[in-house]
């Protein structure tokens, strides 16, 4: 059992522990959300590559199309 810090009541210690727990939970949620977003991008990239492969496009053209898709820039420049 941890001894209370000098000058802190048990109520203050409980509040501090609760705040630390909430901060840790928020960090975990943020990390899992970022991981899910990254996974979704990887799935979308693979889907686009599969479509390009089915169309018989070269690797270079496929890479250009995927890059253009994610950066929202035209592949063919006017």
pLDDT tens profile 32-60 = 888 888 888 999 999 999 999 999 999 99
Is 22 within 8 Å of 28 (Cβ atoms)?
A: no
For residue 7, name the pLDDT band (cuts at 50, 70, 90). Answer: low
- Distant-in-sequence, close-in-space partners of 66: CB < 8 Å, separation ≥ 6: 45, 48, 49, 52
pLDDT tens profile 11-33 = 667 777 778 888 888 888 888 88
């Amino acid at each position: 059992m941890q001894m209370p810090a000098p000058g802190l009541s048990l109520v203050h210690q409980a509040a501090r522990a609760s705040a630390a727990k909430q901060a840790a939970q928020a960090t975990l949620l943020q990390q899992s959300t970022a991981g899910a977003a990254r996974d979704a991008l990887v799935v979308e990239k693979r889907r686009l590559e599969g479509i390009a492969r089915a169309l018989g496009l070269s690797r270079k053209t496929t890479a250009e199309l995927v890059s253009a898709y994610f950066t929202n820039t035209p592949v063919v420049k006017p």
